[in-house]
Amino acid sequence: MRERRDSRPWVCVTVLLLVTASPHLWGQQRKVERTVAPAKVNSQAPARTPQLVDITASTQIHFEHLASPDQRYIVESMGGGVALLDYDGDGWLDIYFTNGPSVAMALEGKKARSVLYRNNHDGTFRDVTEKAGVGYPCWAMGAAAGDYNNDGRADLVVSCFGGVVLYRNNGDGTFTDVTKSSGLDRDTGWATGVTFGDYDGDGYVDLFVPHYVDFDMKDLPTFGSRKTCQYHDLPVQCGPRGLKGYPDTLFHNNGDGTFTEVAKLVGVDDPKRFFGLGAVWSDFDGDGKLDLFVANDGEPNYLYRNEGNGRFRETGYDAGVAVSDDGVEQANMGLALGDYMHTGRMSVAITHFSDEYAVLYRNDGNLSFSDVSHAAGIARPTEQFVGWGDAFVDLDNSGWLDLVLVNGHVYPQVDDAKLGTAYREPKLVFQNQRDGTFKDVSAQVGAVVTTPQVSRGLAVGDLLNRGRLNLVVENLTGAPMILEARPDPANHWVSFELEGSSTNRMALNARVLVTTGAMQQMDEVRSGGSYLSQNDVRLHFGLGNSTKMDRVEVRWPSGGSQVFEGVAADRFYTLKEGGGLKEKAKP
């Protein structure tokens, strides 16, 4: 067991755990010792529970992700990412839902239609897929946003079973498929949680592509045929165990609209061929260089430290994020980053398979993390569910990040097996208790949270420009769900939209630090994350009862910074690097 890095006193409790059989763990059984922190009384604990309301019907969104009823192949059960982006630059978030066919459809040459919905500015959305030209990219898994050519417009990359597709935003409501001309057609693996980030600081965002398994449509594994095709002795789809992995790729942006694959050259090529599902760029150690976190399903996570010389060093075990605190390789899927304790450092939450627990890696500084899942109170409630999309999100505009997870099993067969679990599962909401712990308030947040669904992607953003956040959930089967947070009306908020001056125009991985009184919050602009999804790149901060911010500091990827004082709350601001903070007119 790793030594915990925490200044608080600890009470050591020995707990015997039995890790039950899971296809992600090959049925490993271990006895472990766990150190549990004592509960800490917090006089500033939140006084009310945030509420979530289902507004799906009023949005006029009519989309259904296609799904095989029996999910006989793993490729049918893993898709469902959703992206929020302002594709037409009108200041309102639009929604892109990815879609994938069944194996039977694909073998017959049939495709599944992904859908782009344009925001009508009145709470409704309109299907503009045909005009935009983004309906049939591939067997789509997920999507992420990034401005790869620095023209100031949000481009869209779609991860596919069979590579990636890059859509260049033309600025007139349409996209052009530039996959081949950009050189990204060289990627042919099963791509998953793609992410843009400028790892070498040249002002052009690069693209990392994690890959899952080497799944061959011409040699389909037989349902329930061997041990790795069974779940608690129940015949199910095969994989990922028993299937081959596929190396990851990193495409360096050449600055001329093309990319060069450099994963092996820089040290992020995944020579062990782990089952990659998610990835995100962030400066985890605060040294000014982007590091890379890769979530691997049923195998150790990677944390690549940027050495600053065009090379990365894998530090997952040394940093404490490769495996759980029990020393177990978990089914790492969704990736959420957030400064939930106001330390100025990004911690990581990862969703997992049932019979495991969602893990919270607290960032202790100096590229050292501690698994505080049990001490923080999120472990036990998550053990019975299969988690996917996740997000740190301030549901109540209190200034403290809550944690939301969406769930759904991979095996429809569990409904008839009396295993104590179900195919459709509820979501989970954990309220930040402001002392390093979370409280499971799922039953109190609203009935929409406990509604069982087969969820996958989760993206967060202010769809209606009201200063309150929305959660967009893409379900593997059936329609999506769009939720609206209903925060305390007495709480204030602020939103920042950043733009790089001439390079990295989307300002990916720029950070904003907001100070109100003794509290300082931090967030950054990111591409990708959650599970195969893309959040709003505008940065939203809840401010509690503060009507203004004492100080706002923006740290640009170029190394420069800007400071603004006495900034009024309850407004949307735009900031171009080197310019002044501008208030956007309220809708």
Q: Tell me: the pLDDT tens digits for 44-68?
A: 788 799 999 999 999 999 999 999 9
The partner residues of 245 in beta bridges, in order of sequence, read 213
pLDDT band for position 235 (50/70/90)? very high
The partner residues of 294 in beta bridges, in order of sequence, read 279, 302
| pLDDT at residue 418, rounded to an integer | 84
Section 420-435 average pLDDT:
97
365 within 8 A of 420, measured Cβ to Cβ: no
pLDDT band for position 31 (50/70/90)? very low
**Nearest one of 241, 247, 245, 250 to 215, comparing CA atoms:** 245
Residue 20 pLDDT greater than 80, yes or no = no
> What is the pairing mode between strands 572-576 and 492-499?
parallel
Residue 24 pLDDT greater than 90, yes or no = no
DSSP characters over 211-251:
B-B---TTSPPPTT-SGGGEETTEE----STTS-B---EEE
167 within 8 A of 161, measured Cβ to Cβ: no
Section 230-241 average pLDDT:
95
364 within 8 A of 358, measured Cβ to Cβ: no
Question: What CA–CA distance (Å, rounded) separates 238 from 496?
Answer: 45
| pLDDT at residue 45, rounded to an integer | 80
Coarse DSSP helix, strand, coil percentages of the chain, rounded to the nearest 5 percent:
10, 35, 55
| pLDDT at residue 14, rounded to an integer | 32
Question: What CA–CA distance (Å, rounded) separates 22 from 32?
Answer: 17
Look up residue 139 and give its amino acid.
W
- CB within 8 A of 19, min separation 6: which ones? 25, 28, 29, 30, 326, 328, 355, 356
Looking at the chain, the whole-number percentage of residues with pLDDT higher than 70 is 92
* Mean residue pLDDT across the chain: 92
Looking at the chain, the whole-number percentage of residues with pLDDT higher than 90 is 90
Residue 547's alpha-carbon distances to 540, 567, 568, in angstroms, are: 15, 9, 6
Question: What CA–CA distance (Å, rounded) separates 75 from 102?
Answer: 8
| pLDDT at residue 495, rounded to an integer | 98
- CB within 8 A of 172, min separation 6: which ones? none
Residue 19's alpha-carbon distances to 37, 226, 541, 568, in angstroms, are: 22, 21, 39, 51
Q: Tell me: the pLDDT tens digits for 196-233?
A: 999 999 999 999 999 999 999 999 999 999 999 999 99
pLDDT band for position 326 (50/70/90)? confident
Residue carrying the six token digits 């935009």? 132
* DSSP secondary structure code for residue 586 in this structure: P
The partner residues of 369 in beta bridges, in order of sequence, read 363
**Nearest one of 336, 370, 333, 337 to 352, comparing CA atoms:** 333
Q: Would you tell me how many other CB atoms lie within 10 Å of the CB of residue 14?
A: 10
Question: What CA–CA distance (Å, rounded) separates 159 from 163?
Answer: 6
pLDDT band for position 17 (50/70/90)? very low
Two structure tokens written together for 125: 């959305």
Section 448-463 average pLDDT:
97
Question: What CA–CA distance (Å, rounded) separates 115 from 110?
Answer: 16
> What is the pairing mode between strands 302-306 and 291-296?
antiparallel
**Nearest one of 57, 191, 68, 29 to 124, comparing CA atoms:** 57
Q: Tell me: the pLDDT tens digits for 345-402?
A: 999 999 999 999 999 999 999 999 999 999 999 999 999 999 999 999 999 999 999 9
pLDDT band for position 13 (50/70/90)? very low
Section 105-118 average pLDDT:
97
Is CATH 2.60.40 correct for 493-583?
A: yes
Is CATH 2.130.10.10 correct for 51-492?
A: yes
Would you mind telling me the total number of residues written for the chain in this entry?
A: 587
State CA 245 to chain mean position distance.
Answer: 22
Q: Domain extents for the chain? A: 51-492, 493-583
**Nearest one of 80, 77, 78 to 97, comparing CA atoms:** 80
Q: What are phi and psi of 456, to 5 degrees?
A: -135, -80
Please give the span between the terminal C-alpha atoms of the chain, in angstroms, as a whole number. Answer: 53
| pLDDT at residue 165, rounded to an integer | 98
| pLDDT at residue 586, rounded to an integer | 67
Section 481-508 average pLDDT:
96
Residue 394's alpha-carbon distances to 84, 279, 339, 362, 521, in angstroms, are: 18, 22, 11, 18, 11
State CA 500 to chain mean position distance.
Answer: 23
Two structure tokens written together for 240: 């990922």
Q: Tell me: the pLDDT tens digits for 271-317?
A: 999 999 999 999 999 999 999 999 999 999 999 999 999 999 999 99
Two structure tokens written together for 245: 């992995």
